[in-house]
Structure 1
Amino acid sequence: MGNAAEHAAITAHWSRRDPAAWIMARLAAEQVQTPQWRDVARFDQIHAGGLQAVRELAELCAISRDWQVVDLGGGLGGAARALSGTYGCALTCVDLTPTLIDAGERLTTLVGLQRYVRHLEADATATGLADAAYDLVWVQHLALHLPEPLALWREAARLLKPGGLLAVHEWVLGSGEPYYPAPWAPADGSLSHLGSQAELEARLTAAGFIDIRLQDVSATAAEGYARQLKALARQPQADNPVLPAEELGLVIANAERSLREGRARCLMGTARRA
């Protein structure tokens, strides 16, 4: 995933808070005695579209209980817990950031899914996991951090069994650069490496994927951010597990505006390993 400086910058971006402590404090304030994954999912889905996006992408995959799944760049493990909790499958959640791995492990244990969801601190482009061992590789909002994303898709292909499925939920460039700060990048736009849809599809093909089916979900994602903005207007001091209140409003507003103006787009879909 690039050099040591890039690793450090990405890790720092996602390590400014203790997400597990934040979520546990909210659950305690609501007097949730025995949290289930759905309770935590109200807070741990920090990608565009939230839990609904996970559900929609999962439906495209037709996941089976006996599948082995790996989530590359899985962060807090929100998608991993949702998939395991819904389908009963085993997941490995890979992320580069120790803070997110630690928080993910604590949250997974909190909701009793530690037998099914494993958290692994590793580079998503070189995980060290076994060849051809997985039925599904899940990727949400990761390629946008990578200056050379082809390495990610090649690693995904290596991990998949022949005919295995890749689930993709990614931002791509639209008519211009998105507004910053964005959910994945600070105000100077560093850490952002968006490419076009054509470039994404070409890289998937080069990595050995076929039957690439991507759909534009920008409108739905923008609507989700618009709802968040309305909620923030009622609670201007609101924050989330990874962003403080003084940043959250601008970040969400920029994401919504970038999508609404077509500067960036959000895609969702699948591809199959040849």
Structure 2
Amino acid sequence: MPTVSKHYNESLQLETILLQLNDAYPDGPNAYQLAPIDQLHIGGIKASEKLAERLDTLKPESVLDVGSGLGGLLRVCKQRHDAIYVGLDITHGLSYANQQLGKLNQTSSPCMVVTGNGQQLPFADESFDVIIMQHSLLNMPDKINALKESKRVLRKGGHLILHEVLMGEHYEQMLFPVPWARTKDISHLTSEKSLTALIDEASLRIESINDWSEEAILWRTRQTNKQATQQTSSQSPVVSPAMILGCDFIQMGKNVQSNLQNGAIRIVEILIC
């Protein structure tokens, strides 16, 4: 049976990534130069920058990223807001890669990285001011536990920010593979109605819901065109999503674009307290 860890581990080419980044950027890569491998969520680095803007208002002293992957979101947040940042991911290979990428740029102190399960958080009660999940619930079958655990480790007055892929009106047209799952076995998408009911069951309250689907379609279309150009070019990019997701990442991207355009999926940002 496929697992989340296997999905993200089996094509990871960490040695090649580090070698090529060191050769191309001897002083250390910046956030945009790392984006092809550490901003694999829908919307890319621009979506992470929009989430980071939330911190301007919330002003947290501590932030937990659940499902942190290679750490791209927190690198963007650190550039904007000074706080204690912790990244948690269930896939140890990604957590280790996150740590190694964090060491490349000596001008920026690495975030704390923990391998752990977002459905059973390994932190004490009231540990964080803000928790962010960016395309994380879609790999978690036990969403109510993930939400209750978030509530448990949030401090009084804290916030949970979700940037999630949800089922769309025409979910029956869903195509696989996609970046978070090659087959539907490890894809655990839910509808907005079901998710809001779970948020209420976890004794959390929604402050706002914003639909980012139109922006996501425009972004994915640009990415598809960019990747088509790269395929016909003799010059290869320094790093590529293929080094994380494997050779079928091109098809994954095309399927994401089709799924967005056909209404099989939606992209939302939800602010919760």
Give the TM-score, by structure 2 length: 0.89
1:8-19 map, 5 Å: 9-18=3-12
Match of 2:178 in 1: 182
The 1:211–1:146 alpha-carbon spacing in structure 2 relative to 1, beyond 3 Å, is closer
- Residue by residue, what CA displacement relative to the aligned partner does 1:189-208 show, whole Å, maximum 9, x if unpaired? 21011110011111112112
Backbone CA RMSD of aligned residues? 2.1
CA distance in 2, matches of 1:231, 1:261: 21
Q: What is the match of residue 199 of structure 2?
A: 204
Could you say which residue in structure 1 is the equivalent of 2:186?
Answer: 191
Shift of residue 109, structure 1, vs aligned partner: 1.6
- The DSSP-based 3-state class of the residue aligned with 1:235 is helix
Identify the residue that residue 256 of structure 2 maps to in structure 1.
255
> Aligned AA for 1:233?
A
CA contact (8 A) 1:64 1:87 kept: no
Give yes or no for the alignment of 1:121 onto 2:123: no
2:186 & 2:107 partners in 1: Cα distance? 32
CA offset at residue 36 of structure 1? 4.5
Change (3 A) 1:61 1:198: farther
- 1:138 is matched with 132
Extract unaligned runs of 5+ from structure 2: none
CA contact (8 A) 2:12 2:246 kept: no
**What's the secondary structure of 2:184's corresponding residue?**
coil
Q: Is the 8 A contact 1:67 1:135 kept in 2?
A: yes
Contact in 1 for aligned 2:37/2:244 (Cα 8 Å): no
Distance 1:95 1:114, change over 3 A: farther
Between the two proteins, what is the percent identity of the paired residues? 25
State the AA in 2 paired with 1:122. Answer: G
**Equivalence for 1:155:** 149
- Residues in 1 aligned to 2:195 and 2:217: alpha-carbon distance in whole angstroms: 21
**Which has the higher mean CA deviation after the structures are superposed, 62-71 or 259-268?**
62-71
Contact 2:179 2:253 in 1 (8 A): yes
Decide whether the 8 Å contact of 2:22 with 2:28 is kept in 1.
no
**CA distance, structure 1, for counterparts of residue 184 and residue 104 of structure 2:** 35
- Where do 5+ consecutive residues of structure 1 fail to align? none
The one-letter code matched in structure 2 to 1:260 is Q
* Alignment-derived partner of residue 210 in structure 2: 215
**Which amino acid counterpart does residue 210 of structure 2 have in structure 1?**
Q
TM-score, with structure 1 as normaliser: 0.88
Structure 2 distance, partners of 1:86, 1:22, is 30
Change in 2 beyond 3 A, CA 1:93/1:253: same
- 2:231 maps to 236
Counterpart of 1:130 in 2: which secondary structure? coil
Measured after TM superposition, the shift of residue 269 of structure 1 is 2.6
1:82 is aligned to 76
Q: Tell me the SS of whatever aligns to 1:112.
A: coil
Judging changes above 3 Å, is the alpha-carbon distance between structure 1 residues 160 and 64 closer, same or farther for their aligned structure 2 residues? same
Q: 1:63 to 1:74 in 2, by over 3 A?
A: farther
Instruction: Output the CA distance in 1 between the equivalents of 2:106 and 2:154.
Output: 27
- 2:25 corresponding residue in structure 1: 32
Instruction: Give 3-state SS (helix, strand or coil) of 2:103's partner.
Output: helix
CA contact 1:90–1:116 (8 Å) conserved in 2: no
* 1:258–1:264 contact (8 Å) kept in structure 2: yes
CA distance in 2, matches of 1:144, 1:112: 34
Question: Whole-Å Cα distance in 1 between the matches of residues 9 and 107 of structure 2?
Answer: 24
Asked if structure 2 preserves the Cα contact closer than 8 Å seen for 1:66 and 1:89, the reply is: yes
| Structure 1 residue 64 displacement after superposition | 6.3
Match of 2:163, as an amino acid? H
Q: How far off is 1:89 after superposition?
A: 1.6
